[in-house]
Amino acid sequence: MSWKTERKTLIIIIAVFAGCYYLPVGIARFNNAISESLQLVKWYARQHVLLCLVPAFFIAGAISIFVSQASVMKYLGAKANKVLAYAVASVSGSILAVCSCTVLPLFAGIYKMGAGLGPASAFLYSGPAVNVLAIILTARVLGLQIGIARAVGAIVFSIVIGLLMHLIYRKQELEKANSQIAMPVPAVGRSIRQNAMYFGAMVAILIFANWARSGDVRAVFLCCPGGLSSFRVEGTLISHSPEEVEILDVAGKTHQIPVELIQEVEGIEKSGLYDLIHRLRWAIVLMLLAGFVLMLRSWFARAELLEWADATWGFAKQMLPLLLLGVLAAGLLLGRPGPEHEGLIPAEWVNAAVGGNSIRANLFAAVAGAFMYFATLTEVPILQGLMGAGMGKGPALALLLAGPALSLPNMLVIRSVMGTQKTVVFVLLVIAMASISGIIFGALF
C-alpha cells in the first residue's frame, strides 16, 4: 500500500466531509441557486434534448458512418484547399442555426472523420455564432452597429481562430495530413444525390420540428430593467391590447401585464407563410420521416443501420451527461434571467463589472459570456437589460462574440473530443479575440 496514494485519498475524503459539514443549506441564496440549477436543467431537457440534440446525435452518427473519410478530408481535411475548407466552415452556422450544445455532435462527427483541426475549430465556432436570425434580432433590438459588428466579427473570428489553432498545432496537423495521404479511397455505395437527400431529410426534420410559433414571446422587459434583473416571460402571446399584454407561459400560467409597465415585447413577427409552416410543421415532419424511412429501407443494409445506431449511441453516451452536468453548474452559479432567479453569483456583481468600455469590462464580459449558457436568441434580451443598466457597447459585443459559441457544458464536451490542452487554447483564443474586438468597437462607437 502506497502512503502517497492513500494520502491523496484521505485529502479527498476530508475535503468532501468538510464540504458536507459546512453545506450552507437553509441560506436563501444557496437554496435558490440549487432550485435554479434544477429548473435550468429541466428546461434544457424539455426544450433541447428531444427535438435538438437527439436529431443532432443521429446526424453526427450518420456523418461518422455514411460520409466517407475521403470526402471529409477532401473538403475539410488537413491537406484540403484552405480557402474552400475555411469558407465552408465559417458560414455553416447561417444554414444550421444551432446553439453551442447542438453543434457539438456535428463537430465531433467531422473531427473524428479526419477534418483538420483548423476547419473543425472554425465550424465549432461558426455553428452557433453565425446565426442569421440571432444577428437580425441583435440589429433590431441592440442597434444596427452592434448587429453588423456581430455578423462580421463572427465570420472573421471563425476563420482566424481556425487558422490560429492550425498554426499552434501545425506539427500534429502535418503528421495527421501525412497519415491521411496513405488512406485508400473507400468504395461509395450510394450516389451523391442519394446522400444529399438522406442528410437533407435529417436536417429538415431538425429545422421543422423546432419551428417556433409566430405568436411565441421570447421576453417581456419591464420599466426598470436593472440588468439581469429584468422580468422575463417565455410563452405564447394570447392577446396584445392597448391596455395590457396577455401571455401563456411554458408552464401553462397566464400573465396579464399592463402596457405602461412594458418596455418592449420581443417575439417573431407574424407572416402568412411563417404561420402556415407552423400550423403544418408536424405534417411536414411526418412526411419527411416517411420519406426518410423509405430511404433507409431502400438504400441501406441492415448491418449499416446497426452500425449507425451504435455510432449515434456512442455520441449520446459521451456528450449528454457532460452537457446536463454543465447546465446544472451554469444554473447553480448564474441562475436564470430575473431578480428571483439568481444563482450563487449576484446579478449586481455582473452588472457592475461590465459598465463602461474599459479593458477590464470587456475582458470580464468575454469571460462571463464564455462560461454562461445562452439558449439561442436569449443573449439579446439579457444584453438589452445589461445595456439599460449601463453596460458599454464594447463589452456587449465581447459577450455576443464569446457567449453563443461557448458555455461551460460546451467546454466539457469539447475537452472529451479534442483533449484538455486544445480546449483551453480554443477557449482562450475566443475570449482574447472577443475582448480585443470589444475594446476596439467601444473606442470607435
Task: Classify burial at 327, counting beta carbons within 10 Å of its beta carbon; exposed 0-12, middle 13-18, buried 19 or more.
Answer: buried
Residue 1 has pLDDT above 60, yes or no: no
107 is a domain residue: yes
Residue 428 has pLDDT above 90, yes or no: yes
User: Which of 227, 251, 267 is the C-terminal boundary of a domain?
Assistant: 267
| Least confident stretch, 166-180, 223-237, 327-341, 355-369 | 223-237
Q: Is residue 288 domain-shared with residue 201, that is, in the same domain? A: yes
Q: Is residue 174 domain-shared with residue 47, that is, in the same domain? A: yes
Secondary structure element (H or E) that encloses residue 256, with its range: strand 254-258
Here the CATH number for the domain that contains residue 236 is 2.30.30
Average pLDDT over residues 141-163: 84
For position 56, what pLDDT does the model report?
A: 76
Report the distance separating Cα 250 and Cα 257, nearest Å. 16
| % the chain with pLDDT above 70 | 70
364 is a domain residue: yes
For position 74, what pLDDT does the model report?
A: 66
Q: Is residue 196 domain-shared with residue 221, that is, in the same domain? A: no
Structural domains in the chain (count):
2
- Give the residue with greater pLDDT, 425 vs 343: 425
Q: Is residue 177 domain-shared with residue 241, that is, in the same domain? A: no
Q: Looking up cell 440534440, which residue turns up?
A: 53
Kindly provide the b/e burial profile for residues 374-386, where b requires at least 16 CB atoms within 10 angstroms of the residue's own CB. bbbbbbbbbbbbb
- The CA angle 135-141-147, to the nearest 5 degrees, is 35
Average pLDDT over residues 43-72: 73
Listing DSSP states for 338-361 in one string gives: STT---SS-HHHHHHHTBBS-HHH
Q: Is residue 361 domain-shared with residue 295, that is, in the same domain? A: yes
- Give the residue with greater pLDDT, 42 vs 127: 42
Chain mean pLDDT for the chain: 76
Q: Is residue 241 domain-shared with residue 291, that is, in the same domain? A: no
Residues 372-411: tens digit of each pLDDT: 776 655 676 567 656 765 678 899 899 888 887 788 888 8
112 is a domain residue: yes
Q: Which of 39-48, 65-74, 111-120, 409-418 has the highest average model confidence (pLDDT)?
A: 409-418
Report the distance separating Cα 309 and Cα 296, nearest Å. 12
Question: Three cell numbers at 11?
Answer: 485529502
8 is a domain residue: no
Residue 164 has pLDDT above 70, yes or no: yes
| Least confident stretch, 131-140, 151-160, 260-269 | 260-269
User: Which of 242, 267, 292 is the C-terminal boundary of a domain?
Assistant: 267
Report the distance separating Cα 389 and Cα 228, nearest Å. 9
Domain around 245:
216-267
263 is a domain residue: yes
- Give the residue with greater pLDDT, 413 vs 4: 413
Q: Is residue 93 domain-shared with residue 221, that is, in the same domain? A: no
| % the chain with pLDDT above 90 | 9
For position 284, what pLDDT does the model report?
A: 92
Q: Is residue 235 domain-shared with residue 109, that is, in the same domain? A: no
Q: Is residue 136 domain-shared with residue 221, that is, in the same domain? A: no
Average pLDDT over residues 99-126: 79
Question: Three cell numbers at 330?
Answer: 451554469
23 is a domain residue: no
Residue 181 has pLDDT above 60, yes or no: no
Q: Is residue 163 domain-shared with residue 297, that is, in the same domain? A: yes
Q: Is residue 221 domain-shared with residue 310, that is, in the same domain? A: no
16 is a domain residue: no
Residues 188-233: tens digit of each pLDDT: 566 778 878 888 888 888 778 877 655 565 555 555 444 444 456 6
Residue 272 has pLDDT above 70, yes or no: no
Q: Is residue 210 domain-shared with residue 220, that is, in the same domain? A: no
Residue 161 has pLDDT above 80, yes or no: yes
For position 155, what pLDDT does the model report?
A: 84
Report the distance separating Cα 365 and Cα 320, nearest Å. 27
Distance linking the first and last C-alpha atoms of the chain: 65
Neighbouring residues of 277: CB distance < 8 A, sequence distance ≥ 6? 208, 211, 284
User: Residue 406 in 3-state DSSP?
Assistant: coil
Residue 122 has pLDDT above 70, yes or no: yes
Q: Which of 26-40, 95-109, 210-224 has the highest average model confidence (pLDDT)?
A: 26-40
Question: Three cell numbers at 384?
Answer: 438589452
Q: Is the Cβ–Cβ distance between 291 and 201 less than 8 Å?
A: yes
For position 38, what pLDDT does the model report?
A: 86
Question: Three cell numbers at 351?
Answer: 452588472
- Give the residue with greater pLDDT, 264 vs 45: 45
Secondary structure element (H or E) that encloses residue 425, with its range: helix 420-444
Query: Within 13 A of 357's CA, how many CA atoms are on the CB side?
Result: 14
Report the distance separating Cα 390 and Cα 284, nearest Å. 45
24 is a domain residue: no
